[in-house]
Amino acid sequence: MTNLNTEAANSPLYYARIAGFGLLLMAILAMFSNFTVLEGLIVADDAATTANNIITNEILFRSGFLCFVLVLILDVLVTWALYVLLKPVNKNLALLAALFRLVYTAVFGMALHHFLNVLQLLSGAEYLTVFTTEQLHAQAMLLIDAFNNGWLIGLVFFGLHLLVAGYLIIKSRGYLPKLIGIFLVLSAAGYLTDSIAHFLLPNYSDYQTVFLLIVAIPGVVGELSLAFWLLIKGVKVQQRQ
């Protein structure tokens, strides 16, 4: 039994299932936190409405935070599994891809702590009475913006991770589907272009929809295709052995 368990743990299929399940679960959790919580509660340029939404729906806001924490944990597991899977293609580049993703995870985790500070500002604690309601709401909005800015910086490293991972998949000679690698490279280009536009364009909001489409379409297709392929067809990775 021990030998069988060891062989299973050393099988590429084992790591393919971990990566595929992790990627899929991360997508579900991130979509809930991003679209249900952030998009549902945060109103751009309206600190008072945003603060009231968070206070009224505190459990939902906390649930979104918890889901993001779970995403961080899954990100580490996925990084580990993808490194093992891509290592036979090129060990050094697989390590580079893993490092880029871990840096992204660390930066995102640092940005995420601002959510707890938002809750603290809106908690109604007695020591906060030295601030006016408007000041508290404005500070909460600044913290939300700080989270978004930190996430944006992290996405630069995530884009570089996708670029290297996509390149490895393209060069894997059928070890993993080349088309998925192409979509990952396109997704990387989208993330990097969007981040650079954020940094350089004062009027980024005028072009936000265009940039979101550039990121979303190849990103969703590439990352979800990889997740489902690893879950359903992951056995093909054994061809590399």
Report the distance separating Cα 64 and Cα 66, nearest Å: 5
* Structure-token pair, residue 13: 């299929």
Q: What is the DSSP letter of 32?
A: I
Task: Estimate to the nearest angstrom the gap between the alpha carbon of 121 and the chain centroid.
Answer: 26
Among candidate residues 109, 87, 73, the one with its CA nearest the CA of residue 165: 87
Mean pLDDT, all residues of the chain: 88
Per-residue pLDDT of 181-196, as tens digits, reads: 999 999 898 888 888 8
Residue 114 CB contacts under 8 Å (≥ 6 apart), including other chains:
143, 144, 146, 147, 150
Strand, helix or coil at 88? Answer: coil
- Residue 133: the pLDDT is 92
With cut-offs at 50, 70 and 90, classify the pLDDT of residue 1. very low
Mean pLDDT of 67-96: 96
Among candidate residues 41, 52, 37, the one with its CA nearest the CA of residue 136: 52
Report the distance separating Cα 233 and Cα 131, nearest Å: 57
Residue 86 CB contacts under 8 Å (≥ 6 apart), including other chains:
93, 94, 97, 165, 168, 169, 172
* Structure-token pair, residue 79: 């990084």
CA atoms within 13 A on the CB side of 166: 23
Task: Please state the pTM of the whole predicted model.
Answer: 0.88
Per-residue pLDDT of 94-125, as tens digits, reads: 999 999 999 999 999 999 999 999 999 999 88
- Tell me the CA distances in angstroms from 145 to 66, 162, 176, 181, one per residue in order: 19, 25, 38, 33
